[in-house]
Structure 1
């Protein structure tokens, strides 16, 4: 991946920088002269390194702004001092004043502060200045690579933390993170959302008769079958033990019932081959509920309704699907009688 460089300043300023920075095979280079455009570019593109021309209007402002953006702290900001009056003062006031200027630049948000010194006989950079700029460029490249490595590591750790180690489904922690997001999306975009809770019927008998290793293998095979019979948009989670939750975005009640009925059928119709000598027939009970506008933001109401339907399916004999509408009708009849 190419390193992305933003130069905030003029094209004439860019021309003074070392030739290596202009290598299109190594760097994606962008020059922006307007402060607001530069901020927008940084927010959208997130360049790896920024060269800032000190004499350009808004130079210190952009360094200070960048310093305040915690999510962009990995961007390496190099402030290049090209103001003629400052270069004159540098030669007159000595190294203590130079150190003071550097400290001020770093305090205002720059990661590096470099004096743009040129040869007296021409406009070319001194060897030391060129070397220092390229060295800071290397620091920036190294810094962004460490950031990318860290992000990759965090992605892996997040995936591990949100995955169930036995079934490879998302775990309960992942559901607690994703369900509020789906609730918010359904509410703000006015789209449907449904949820299924699944429980394996009489799973304790499997563990009691065949042992926990067989029970674990059965759950693995079950989850594999469920996963391969869900739609691409559906998201399955292991909720705990032999209980599972499936989120169904963009899905109304009738569509959710169709999905649930299909899952119930594909589980009961074919046994699970634990090994060459053991094939187990199992069934599942399923409760289905849909998002309602007055549901809480964490999805507890939605989960509760689906769980009530699941309990009703188990009480009615298991191996079946009950949705909230069906559950409500039965509850109303019982209340009337």
Structure 2
């Protein structure tokens, strides 16, 4: 139910500390608090989404390219060398590589490029002084690449969090108006809870601005977007954890997994045999959730622009005119 979903959103209403510098008409009545806040949050939600959408979409595009390039470069290098054994280790446990084994996540240029350098793998498998001397450089490059993946995911998470916090506030206020339209506040007053009376009086004008069906759709869409964002955060956390403990073996199991993933065959995670294969699978799954979250934010933005902003702008305009008229009298 929309009200139940929105009630859960209301628990997080204090998450946002963003502020908007736009000027608002100042009225003497406390009645203006909710419409003023709702309009501010709505306009700021739209502004933040439009400002950050291009860079968020670019992060998704870069990550998609990274997983594909990784599969291609790793498979090519592995088949060229086929020396077997441990090729490398990426992560914070046990350092990165040994004198005879190192995996290279190439430096990122023009976006994210989580790729395995074929030449580096061949050199590492071949061993010898050249491989040993290049170890420090490889470690630095690998750390930089891994850090950039982490930074990209964290950036997507924190940026969408800022945008979504505004949407939470919108859902909270829409919930109040929608409940009033469904006589929720009136029912409480009839049971003797007098401190709700002021709220009912404040919401009476606002309730007339919106069709109940429109508010319900805004509330349902906004609540779904907030929940999608929280779901996305869990996938980012899992992927970052896997990235920190990723070990790649140059063996047939890894190659079989990579072949399946490269051809984009329908496959379940439990059917994959290697940690590297499961990492790429989880990376693609996370990318899907990033895109779904961005799509949900776009839909919520459209609903807010369609229903909330034009009606509240008209309401604020009327209040301003009424205030001026009262002052002239």
| Common fold by TM > 0.5 | no
Q: Indicate the structure (1 or 2) with the bigger Cα radius of gyration.
A: 1
Question: As a proportion of its length, which structure holds more strand?
Answer: 1
| More contact order relative to length (CA 8 Å, sep ≥ 6) | 2
Higher normalized helix content (fraction of residues): 2
Give the TM-score normalised by structure 2. 0.29
